[in-house]
Structure 1
C-alpha cells in the first residue's frame, strides 16, 4: 500500500478567506479566553466536532487484501472520509460495509480495472448524499456538515505514459464538476507543482517537488 496519505480538516464554522473552511493549520487561541469547567469544555468539544470533518486521500495501488489495513489507519488517524485512488477492484457493488463502522463506495468501469477511485466514509458522517461515479478516475459525494453543504471530488489523474487524448478527457470531465460552489478536490493528480507558493499559500502545502 502507498504511504502517500494526505489529510486535511474541514470546519463548517470556519470562514477564512479563500479556504472554504478547509485548513491544515491549528487554530490560534484568543487571548484572555474564558476558562471553562471540564464538563463545559467536553460539551463545547462535542458540539464543535459535529461541525468538523477530517478528510484524507490515499493511493492504495489495489484494494485487494488492504481493506482491514485501511480501516486500521482511519481509526488510528481519526479520518472520517478517505478518498481512494487505484482501487483496481473488480465488481459492481456500490456500497460495502467494513467492520460495520465504515461505508466503502466503489465500482469498476472496465474488465481490467486498471485505475478506479472510491470513498470510505465513517458511519457517523450522515447524511452523505449523491455519491456518483463520473468516470473511472473521478468520484463525487455531496456531504452535509452542520449548516454547510459541499461536494468532495476524489480524482486519479492520468499518469506518465497515458495518451494526450486520455489526459484531455480527464481535464474536461474534472472541469465539468467544478462549476458549483463549495468544492473540495482530493486525490492523486500525478503532478509536480514545484516549491513556489506565492499567492497559493491557502491551497498549496510547503513541501512541493519538481
Structure 2
C-alpha cells in the first residue's frame, strides 16, 4: 500500500458471509442498506479508508460480482467478490453467474495479481481425491455445485 510515511506493503484480504456473523452483523447490514438502499443478494467490498486512495477502478457485474482494482506497493491488484446462487435456485441463473464470473476474471490481464473471495455456495466434501494441492480435507459430506 502506497501511503505517506508508511512502509508496509502487505495486503490482507478476507471474505465473510455477513449472514453468519454474530454480534456486529446487524450494524454491518444496517450500514450497507443505508448506503445502498438494500439489495436482493446483499454483498459488497469493504476497504480500509487508507486504501481508498489506491483504488483505480471498480467494475460491478450485475448484483453478484464486483472487481476492485487497486495499487499495492508497485503492483496492480484485482480483488473479485462473488456471491453465487444457492443450491435450489434456477439452473439458468447459476449458469449465467459462472459465465459472468468468467467474464470478470478474463477482464484481468494474466500478468496482474487476482484474488477471488466470496460465497461460491459449493460444497467441496471431505474427499481430497484429485485436489490434494488445494483441498485441506476439512469438508463434510459429498461435493455439490
TM-score, scaled relative to structure 2: 0.72
Alignment partner, residue 148 of structure 1? 75
1:169-209 deviation digits (Å, cap 9, x = unpaired): 100000001113322110001101133175553x4444233
CA distance in 2, matches of 1:200, 1:51: 31
Give the structure with the larger helix fraction.
Answer: 2
Q: How do 1:68-147 and structure 2 match up within 5 A?
A: 89=33, 93=35, 113-125=39-51, 126-147=53-74
Cα 1:124/1:198, change in 2 over 3 Å: farther
- Identify unmatched segments of 5+ residues in structure 1: 1-10, 12-45, 71-86, 94-105
Give secondary structure in 2 for the equivalent of 1:121. coil
Q: How far off is 1:146 after superposition? A: 0.8
> Could you say which residue in structure 2 is the equivalent of 1:208?
139
Which is strand-richer, 1 or 2?
1
Which residue of structure 1 lines up, in the alignment, with residue 28 of structure 2? 67
Aligned to 1:165: 92
Aligned residues, how many?
129
User: Whose RCO is larger (CA < 8 A, sep 6+)?
Assistant: 2
Deviation at 1:115, TM superposition (A): 0.7
Higher-Rg member (1/2): 1
CA distance in 1, matches of 2:135, 2:76: 23
Per-residue deviation, residues 96-136 of structure 1 (Å, max 9, x unmatched): xxxxxxxxxx575xxxx321321111112230221232111
The structural deviation recorded for 1:64 is: 7.7
- RMSD of aligned alpha carbons: 3.3
